[in-house]
Each structure stands twice: as C-alpha cells, then as structure tokens.
Structure 1
Amino acid sequence: MRQVVWAAGALRDPDEPILTAADHGLTVGDGVFETLEVVDGRAFGLARHLERMHRSASRIGLRVDDAAVRDGVSAVLAAAPGLTRLRITVTSGPGPMSSARGDGPGVVVVTANDGAPPAECRAVRSPWRRNERSPLAGVKSTSYAENVVMMEFARERGADEALMANTAGDLCEGTATNVFVERGREILTPPLEAGCLAGITRGLALEWGADAGLPMREAAPGELPFSVLDEVADGRAFAAVTSSTRRVQPLVSLDGAELAPGPLLSRLAEAFDERAGADSDPPARRVS
C-alpha cells in the first residue's frame, strides 16, 4: 500500500519521525482528526470536513491552522495519483507529562494511501455503551482507544464494525460509522443528542435522500432503542452504516446472522452515489 505523508510544511518519507515524544496527541490523545474519501484526485466533502474539524477543535479548546491543513491536503493529493483515503490530524503539540497542555503551536499531519474501501459491512452488537454526556461526545477526537477495543471485539467475531447503544439504552452509532434503520416504511437515524458523531456522510444522506423523495428523518429521542437491532436481525427491519469510506452501506450480517438489504436503504445508497458523482465538495452547512 502506498502512503504519502505531509507534516511541518513539507512532504515527508513515510518512515520519517515527525512527532516529538512529548506530543500531547501521542501522550494523552489530545487532538482531532478527519478521514476523507479521495475520488479522482479530489478530497470528497473537504469543506464540510474542515468545518467539522473546526467545531471539534473548538469543543476541546484546540486551534486549527486552516491554511496549513489546506496546504497539506493540496500537497498530498498532488504527490501521487490513485489515492483513495486521506486523513488530517491536528494535535495540541508538545506538552508536559500531565493532562495540562503546553503553550507551543499545534501540529498538523496529513496522510493518504491507496487502500481499498470496505466492500461490505458485517456488524456485531457491542457490549459497551457510548456516554452521550461525555465532553467528547460528538467530537472527532484522537482519543480513540474505546473504539479500538470495540473494533477488536468485532474482529474476534468475524465482523468489521461494532454497533453500540448509549447510556440511555438507545441506538447510537458504530465505532467509525453512523447507523440508519429502515423501519415502518421510512428511514431513521439516531439524533445527535444520542451522542453520535455528526457524520459528513450522515448529513449528506439525510439531505440527498430527502431530495430524492425518500421518507427519511432523524429519529426522536428514544424512538430507536438498541433493541431495534433485534428487528434487523430477524428481518422485520433493515440497517445500513454510513461513513466517508463506506458511503451508504447496508449491513450484510449482524451478530453472524445473514441479512438482506432494505429496499429503501438500497435506493438511498444509489441516490447518494449519484449525487456524490455530480458534486464532490458540497458547501459546508450545519445539518442534523
């Protein structure tokens, strides 16, 4: 797999050290990041991803050098054809051996590779819950260890995603995805109040699905209990996950049970791909 790396204003060798041992992104996970799909040499949804990065950074009191981020993205995309996935990471930079931040400038790292996107989604239900009251709820933070634990739980069971409830027992999200449920002849997705990330693909799916005439909306609080996945498992409902690398991807299995795709969710996936092909960088807009 090819990898391209940009840091400190220049392209770097992928094996070149670019962080100090005291960087708070390394020592305490003090940073934010965005992962984007690359299509024909362009970062899909860049404006919306940067807008969300600034919101995440503001939530944790971190400043993002927008010019440096854009320079890094441009340099990486120009460096090699055929890239498929891009990641922007911003940390608070070197800090003391404590939770307190240092006073120095932040660090911006942009990387990309040509890895293939996930071809399908096989999910399991996570035994752990998302804390919707956490100060990091809805923040795309580099403090990702709990997601790693849940992903390893999924991989041990032959899956590639783990779906979780929040502390109220409502369906929340996956470790790296948002969730949509086709139920009662409409498509629902958990509200942001449930503690899920305001996914870029999630927002575009809500917009573009509605534009295509699909009956879809954000669920009311408590409308999608975690037990709705029982309905998915036995075929009374259907589910799909969304992310920048998966787009809209129906579940093919849940906890080892094979699933059929929902007809409305299949139409949503088609509508999304059609709109994405016509508009690779929809303007930033706050959406549900």
Structure 2
Amino acid sequence: MSDLAVWADGRLRDATTPLLSAVDHGVTVGDGVFETCGVVRGEAFALTRHLARLVRSALGLGLEAPDLDAIRAGVAAVLAESSGAGRVRITVTAGLGPLGSGRTPGAQTVLVVAGPAAPPAPVRLARVPWTRNERSAVAGLKTTSYAENVVALAAATRQGADEAVLANTRDALCEGTGSNVFVERGGELVTPPLSSGCLAGITRELVLEWSAAAGLPVREAADGELPYAVLDEALTGDAHLAISGSVRTFVPAVALDGADLAVGPLTAQVAALYREREAADVDP
C-alpha cells in the first residue's frame, strides 16, 4: 500500500488506516459517485471537466454538490505525496446512513487517492451476455455501484481480454465496463450516443471536440446507427474498434473475442492527435 497516497477529512492519511464507517452508505448500498483522472506531468488531467461531471453525478443521485475547493486541495495533496502516480480517484458518498436504501441527512464522505496506473496500450475486447439498461435511474451517472462492471470485466478477463463490450436493452452498442467504444467504418469514426445509456466519458468528449477542430470525420452516432452486431464487421475487417477512458486515453482494439483485429487508419490518426493535445494542455 506504500504506492498509494490517501486524503480524507482535510488531510493526508496512512493508506493502511481504516477510514470508512461500517454504516457509510457508500459501503452498505453503494450510494456514492466517483471520478478517476489520469495523471499527466504530475497533474490530474482534465480535472475541471471531471469535477463538473462529479457534481452532475452527485445531483443526479440526489446528493448535495460536493465541496470542489476541498477536493482540489485533496488532489494537490496526494499528487505532491505520490510523485509517480498514474491516476487519481475522487470518491464522494452519502456518508453515514441506515442499513437500507433510505438516507440519513448528514455530512458526505470524501476520499481522494493517488496510485499507480499502467501506461496506455492497445486493448483486447470481448463480448459478454449482459446489457446496460438505458432507462435505469442511474443511467449516465458515474456511481460507486459497480458490481455489474466487476462481473462483466471478470468474464472478459476469463476470455483473455482486457475489457468487456456491452449492448443495451435495445441490442444497440453501448460501452465497456469502464470505457466508451468507437467504431471506424466507411471512412468515419463514430461512438454510441448518450441515449444508448453510456457514460458521457471525459476522454470521449475530448476526442469528439479535438477531432472536430482538426477536421477529422469523428462524430456521435445517430440512434439505431450502431447495433451490437456492428462488432461482427470488425471480425470481417469491414470495421475497426477503439476505446477511450481517462487512464487508458484513446487506444485501438487489437482483438475481439480472441480474434486479432487490424488498427484502422483513422483510429491511428485520432490516437496520435489525442497524444498531441494531451501533451499541450493538462486541463483542457
């Protein structure tokens, strides 16, 4: 645990010290939200965008907006303590609560942790049999209720993959367990719309913005444009795949369900653009 730096209650804490109550609502029912930032040149990348999404998720879950000034102080503290960190995670829970789903109004629990992360690398994907519910009460919110993702990722790992790719209940392509998905075909790179139930990823957002500014044909798909079966086109070579995430950044997929995939030319161009823009501005 020495490679972790932890901040809570306004100060750095020993990573081995228990900090959460047994009746913290984040522990008992997963009543919380979080953000994970990559670290670039010792700073949390795109922190302003991540904090804005943290507030959106908190309000969407019915929590009060967290104290962003305090969180920024926590981020600075853990990064100063852990100079080699590759990621920062910010977690906000509803705080102390009952054993059931009801909440007890009170102070939130806020944790900031810095730790290691593997460098970005091409990924191997696998399809799994479960779906995202695009009509869920928490669709599009980044909550700590991550059990579905744990199960799906474990299934993908058993297949030798790094990430799972999920459909939604309408059998449309949706997202990965911790990533957004992009499909290159017909000279374009497209990603499922937010109406699919996918998370509004920060890296996804930047890829769309930066690609548009560079005049590259990268866009959000229309409803119904990307059925889950579009993944079959990657296996025949008629499409290429990529994923995006805050620590992974934007990287190509080099395998699907155990079959090797070629990297698309536009995908490679966008990956290079992302690296260039990321290096130029740590908080775009």
Q: Does 1:108 align with 2:137?
A: no
- For residue 115 of structure 1, report the CA deviation from its aligned partner: 2.9
- For residue 59 of structure 1, report the CA deviation from its aligned partner: 0.4
Secondary structure of the residue that 2:134 maps to in structure 1?
coil
Secondary structure of the residue that 1:266 maps to in structure 2?
helix
Q: Which amino acid aligns with 1:116?
A: A
How far, CA to CA, are the matches of 2:82 and 2:232 in structure 1? 45
- For residue 118 of structure 1, report the CA deviation from its aligned partner: 4.7
CA contact (8 A) 1:36 1:44 kept: yes
Deviates more, 1:260-269 or 1:211-220: 211-220
How far, CA to CA, are the matches of 1:119 and 1:274 in structure 2? 16
In the other structure, the counterpart of 1:10 is 11
* Alignment equivalent of 1:224, drawn from 219, 223, 226: 226
In the other structure, the counterpart of 1:155 is 157
- For residue 83 of structure 1, report the CA deviation from its aligned partner: 1.2
In the other structure, the counterpart of 1:269 is 271
In the other structure, the counterpart of 1:139 is 141
Q: Does 1:82 align with 2:84?
A: yes
* Alignment equivalent of 1:172, drawn from 161, 174, 183: 174
How far, CA to CA, are the matches of 2:7 and 2:139 in structure 1? 29
How high is the TM-score relative to the length of structure 2? Answer: 0.98
Q: Which amino acid aligns with 1:230?
A: D
How high is the TM-score relative to the length of structure 1? Answer: 0.96
How far, CA to CA, are the matches of 1:241 and 1:79 in structure 2? 31
Structure 1 alignment gaps of length 5 or more: 283-288
How far, CA to CA, are the matches of 1:259 and 1:183 in structure 2? 13
- For residue 114 of structure 1, report the CA deviation from its aligned partner: 2.3
Structure 2 alignment gaps of length 5 or more: none
Q: Which amino acid aligns with 2:59?
A: S
- For residue 157 of structure 1, report the CA deviation from its aligned partner: 0.8
How far, CA to CA, are the matches of 1:266 and 1:120 in structure 2? 11
In the other structure, the counterpart of 2:261 is 259
- For residue 67 of structure 1, report the CA deviation from its aligned partner: 2.1
- For residue 219 of structure 1, report the CA deviation from its aligned partner: 0.4
CA contact (8 A) 2:184 2:267 kept: yes
Secondary structure of the residue that 1:267 maps to in structure 2?
helix
Secondary structure of the residue that 1:227 maps to in structure 2?
helix
How far, CA to CA, are the matches of 1:118 and 1:16 in structure 2? 31
How far, CA to CA, are the matches of 2:56 and 2:212 in structure 1? 25
CA contact (8 A) 2:203 2:249 kept: yes
How big is each residue's C-alpha offset from its partner over 1:29-60, in whole Å with a ceiling of 9 and x where there is no partner?
00000000011111000000000000011101
CA contact (8 A) 1:40 1:82 kept: no
Q: Which amino acid aligns with 2:20?
A: L
Aligned CA RMSD, in angstroms, stands at: 0.9
How far, CA to CA, are the matches of 1:118 and 1:42 in structure 2? 17
Secondary structure of the residue that 1:276 maps to in structure 2?
helix
- For residue 77 of structure 1, report the CA deviation from its aligned partner: 1.1
CA contact (8 A) 1:68 1:108 kept: no
- For residue 183 of structure 1, report the CA deviation from its aligned partner: 0.8
